């Protein structure tokens, strides 16, 4: 295990070098154990479109459930949608699998206890749990939920955009453009779209 992956605000590293399936499973066990110590029983789980994110999503979720924490799986989403899902489902926390602004060979994990992202010594506590192998055990459940329409409805009710507004949307092949495009069209915007198809290679 490379201790350098435990950053100030997330767990992040290079795919297959720093982050491999065994480590991701241990991280899931650590997240679940840490969550239970903070009275977290249910967490939402989302991911971006990076090539490794779907596999990491499945593995980390398996690790979390093995501690007895329940998962609400919202699948592909933008990071703000993950934060929204915690409040919408009244969950106790959440995990977002994303490499954020980093190159395609990176990936990472943002962890929320309640609505707040853990950071600093809280991130280091995950490392210490893995190093000590002091994992909780249990049988957590999993269910899938689609947050997309609810999130778009929430924004549509609260943000006023003039119909017919001309918008150029460059999605950068991430998930942001994929979810923003139908929302802008719902407003009646005249959208010119660029790179709005999710592609984890970010060509």
Greatest CA separation found in the chain?
A: 58
Considering 52, 100, 132, 134, which one is annotated as catalytic?
A: 100
Contact indicator for 15, 90 with CB cutoff of 8 Å: no
As a whole number of angstroms, the distance between CA 36 and CA 71 comes to 13
Token digits of residue 186: 């719902």
DSSP 132: H
Burial class (CB in 10 A: 0-12, 13-18, 19+), 60: buried
Burial class (CB in 10 A: 0-12, 13-18, 19+), 164: exposed
Instruction: For residue 100, indicate whether it is catalytic.
Output: yes
As a whole number of angstroms, the distance between CA 10 and CA 96 comes to 10
Catalytic positions: 100
């Amino acid at each position: 295990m490379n201790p350098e992956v435990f950053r100030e605000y997330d767990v992040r590293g290079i795919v297959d070098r720093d982050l491999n399936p065994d480590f991701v499973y241990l991280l899931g066990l650590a997240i679940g154990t840490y969550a239970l110590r903070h009275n977290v029983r249910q967490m939402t789980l989302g991911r971006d479109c990076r090539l490794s994110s779907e596999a990491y999503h499945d593995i980390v979720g398996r690790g979390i459930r093995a501690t007895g924490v329940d998962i609400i799986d919202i699948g592909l989403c933008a990071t703000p949608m993950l934060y929204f899902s915690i409040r919408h489902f009244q969950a106790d926390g959440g995990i977002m699998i994303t490499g954020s602004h980093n190159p395609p060979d990176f990936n990472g994990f943002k962890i929320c206890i309640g609505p707040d992202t853990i950071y600093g010594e809280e991130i280091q506590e995950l490392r210490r749990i893995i190093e000590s192998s002091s994992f909780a055990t249990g049988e957590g459940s999993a269910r899938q939920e689609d947050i997309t329409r609810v999130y778009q409805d929430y924004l549509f009710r609260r943000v006023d955009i003039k119909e017919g507004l001309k918008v150029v949307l460059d999605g950068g092949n991430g998930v942001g453009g994929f979810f923003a495009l139908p929302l802008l069209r719902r407003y009646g915007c005249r959208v010119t779209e660029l790179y709005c198809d999710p592609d984890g290679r970010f060509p």
